[in-house]
Structure 1
Amino acid sequence: MSSDIQTKFDFIKANTSKINEVDFENLTFGNVFTDYMLVCDFKNGAWEKPVIKPYEPFTLDPSAKVFHYGQAIFEGMKAYKDENDDVWMFRPYENFSRFNKSAVRLCMPEVPEYVFIDGLKELINLEKSWVKKGKGNSLYIRPFMIAIGSGVIAQPSTQYRFCVILSPAKSYYSGDVKVLIADYYSRAANGGIGAAKAAGNYSGQFYPTKLANEQGFQQVIWTDDATHTKLEEAGTMNVFFRINDTLYTAPTSDRILDGVTRKSLIDLAKREGIAVEVRSVLVDELVEAAKNGSLKEIFGAGTAAVVSPISGFQYKDEYIELPKIENSFSAHLKEKMTNIQYKIEEDTFGWTVKV
């Protein structure tokens, strides 16, 4: 570690590395973690000195508030290695900003930039050998924060732990994705925490997604909580609809996460001359477009898969298969996005940050 970083971070060296035990050609997403993690605690109204230390379990009091009141937030990010062995993060300041918006919404302390951004750079730089070259290879980055203060009184914690763990990843292939449009369960509500990347948002999706899986669907397209007429997100991703040659996606709100991939695809589409409209898309509008042939594509957008095409959807008792088309917007935009991430094409947006 550089002397400048050492003034900001403590460092505990691992005795050995487990990298030689990892089969990088056969990785299950999010199951293998690198040698080191970053940990920084908030106590007595201030952030303590961060430490980069060996990846290991940590102990919490059984009454820690994260277990009882769900104060837990996270981000999902990736780093990529180019052909010159340089490692790049993709739009980390967007994740940093959103992380602190989530923190404010869950009554948690904001994380300083030097802990989040500088910590990411130093941790990833230390673990560069875990980032493999080649399109499809990446390093998944999981910053998270939990309430570690003890006591079961229903009030915000006074102590928190910020942590970053890293996981090598391969291309995320999901195959054909068939979705069920929700007409009863909701992902989020007006005035709720849907716009925060809170852990509870995801646990609340598990049961209705399980029910959809049992019917042969991989994911749920969520609709608004009040009327179930507006299409909002697909599984854990933002969602786009191509009707004729225009892309539509719902506006962000209390219910919809401000996805980094989502906003990047919007900017990319505009650069590529693709018409984009950010507005609510109605379920009836989608069904009608599918029946008259103007619905060409549906795809999810998120960090893990970047773009995940949807092959068909069911609403009520009717299943509609989407046409298979050549030169799809989803494939074109994914190619352009990943070319920027791997430094294959020029990053005209200034999205990539060198580690």
Structure 2
Amino acid sequence: MSDFGFELEPNTRPASDDARAGILADPGFGRYFTDHMAHVRWTQDGGWHDRVVRPYAPLQLDPATAVLHYAQEIFEGIKAYRHADGSVWAFRPEKNAERFRNSARRLALPELDTETFVNSLKALVSRDVDWVPTPRSAADESSLYLRPFMIASEPFLGVRPSTEVDYFVIASPAAAYFRGGVQPVSIWLSSAYTRAAPGGTGAAKCGGNYAASLAAQKEAVAHDCDQVAFLDAVEHRWVEELGGMNLFFVFRDGRIVTPALTGTILEGVTRDSVLQLARDAGYETEERPISIEEWRETAASGELTEVFACGTAAVITPVGVLCSDNERIVCSPENGGEAGLTLRTRLLDLQYGRSADHRGWLTRLA
């Protein structure tokens, strides 16, 4: 038995030191994967069992496997950060575990307890610790991206919850999400598509939500925009979120506003952290509905001074312009904005161990 309650099946053909070093020199994002993966099995009769860290390898699935036909699947995104002393830490993984359970409940999947979730990260990272990049400077945002996911693995054709489920964690060394550094992104306002509807899966982190956003993202790219913003599905006027990030609005009087969670917006761990860090920095924060009309009018009047988006992968990224078929709204200064960049620095300093962790947000993985 290895540490953290997981058996170990070592990879007998791991990447060589030279191959790994070459990857870590230019990892990109989501292109390369470490030598191992964590795996836990669930069955209706046996519950969770067979905890193991085993070689990273393709999965063998029956063509009738439920996830392939009914999309019963959820996932999470977490980063592991190497600190200056060589230790490796995760940022608020318990919050990811909580959201993972909420997503499982919505997708009729079994709920995984926090201890097993966090231990799966520890078991994998401690085994593949050499894959965690060492930042070369404070500007180097490299990390090890962790992707826990759960799939319905019973082979059957029929619309009901699967009686067999597999949970995995894979890991991928990652550079900064946007290769050009912190530059304001352009956003396309989708009028033809909505991301989520009341009673749907908008608050769950499941693949179907992202698949449904891809047509709108293609539309954004066709209009030379980096990301897409969605409005609500009922009135088509309330700002919700981007395809993969939450939105924040900064006003001249120091208020920072983000759309309230309504069941159609993903409850981001970074979003929650930004709200708390903003209050620490002296900003007044609000979680409330914000309409596209308010966005448009306050940007025109100068009352809105900056807009930024946040998420695990992209951290905090300024929004430069919002575009649609008939307008172009300037949202932030060319260099971003003071509030967003200040909070970005505070968040990264905490994650990389350059500032004190007064809230106990960091969990050591290796």
What's the TM-score bracket when you normalise by the shorter of the two chains? over 0.9
Identical-residue share of aligned pairs (%): 37
Report whether the alignment pairs 1:38 with 2:43: no
Match for residue 280 of structure 2 among 271, 283, 288: 271
Relative distance call for 1:100 and 1:15 in structure 2 (3 A) is same
- Residue 17 of structure 1: how far off its partner (Å): 2.0
Count of aligned pairs between the two proteins: 352
Say which SS state the counterpart of residue 143 (structure 1) adopts. strand
* CA distances 1:247-271 after superposition (whole Å, capped 9, x unpaired): 1101112100110000000000000
User: Which aligned pairs between 1:288-303 and structure 2 lie closer than 5 A?
Assistant: 288-303=297-312
Q: What do residues 53-89 of structure 1 show as CA deviations (whole Å, max 9, x unaligned)? A: 0100110110111011100100000110111111111
Query: 2 CA distance for matches of 1:235 and 1:9?
Result: 35
- State how far apart, in whole Å, the 2-side matches of 1:280 and 1:112 are: 33
Which whole-Å deviations, capped at 9, do the CAs of 1:298-336 have from their partners, x for residues lacking one? Answer: 111100011111110124401122333676111100100
- Partners of 2:306 and 2:336 within 8 A in 1: no
> What is the CA-CA distance between 1:218 and the residue it aligns to?
1.3
Instruction: Report the counterpart of residue 21 of structure 1 in structure 2.
Output: 19
Normalising by the residue count of structure 2, what TM-score does the alignment of the two structures yield?
A: 0.93
| Residue of structure 2 in register with 1:341 after alignment | 351
Is the 2:36–2:55 contact (alpha carbons within 8 Å) kept by the matching residues of 1? yes
Instruction: Give unpaired runs (5+ residues) of structure 1.
Output: none
1:220 to 224, 228, 245: 228
Cα deviation 1:152-171 (Å, max 9, x = unaligned) = 11111110110000011112
Could you tell me which amino acid in structure 1 is paired with residue 19 of structure 2? E
Shift of 1:295: 1.6
| In 1: Cα distance, 2:208 partner to 2:101 partner | 17
* Match of residue 162 from structure 1: 167
Aligned equivalent of 1:351: 361
Equivalences for residues 1-355 of structure 1 within 5 A: 2=2, 5=4, 8-18=5-15, 19-22=17-20, 23=22, 24-45=24-45, 46-134=47-135, 135-173=140-178, 175-244=183-252, 245-322=254-331, 323-324=333-334, 328-355=338-365
Which whole-Å CA distance do the structure 2 matches of 1:56 and 1:13 have between them? Answer: 12
Question: How big is the shift at 1:115?
Answer: 2.5
Partners of 2:197 and 2:264 within 8 A in 1: yes
Whether the aligned pair in 2 keeps the contact of 1:194 and 1:257 (CA below 8 Å) is yes
8 A Cα contact 1:176 1:310, kept in partner? yes
For residue 219 of structure 1, report the CA deviation from its aligned partner. 1.1
Deviation at 1:222, TM superposition (A): 0.9
Deviations 1:138-163 (A, max 9, x none): 11000000001011111111101100
CA contact 2:318–2:336 (8 Å) conserved in 1: no
Assess if the C-alpha contact under 8 Å between 2:185 and 2:318 holds in 1.
yes
CA contact (8 A) 2:72 2:151 kept: yes
Q: Which whole-Å CA distance do the structure 1 matches of 2:111 and 2:134 have between them?
A: 34
Residues 326 and 80 of structure 1: CA distance in aligned 2, closer, same or farther (over 3 Å): closer
Residue aligned with 1:66, SS: helix
Are residues 326 and 202 of structure 1, via their aligned partners in 2, closer, same or farther at CA, if it must alter by over 3 Å? closer
Residues 243 and 56 from structure 1, CA distance in 2 versus in 1: closer, same or farther, beyond 3 angstroms? same
Deviation readout 1:240-292 (Å, 9 max, x if unpaired): 01121211101112100110000000000000001211111111011001111
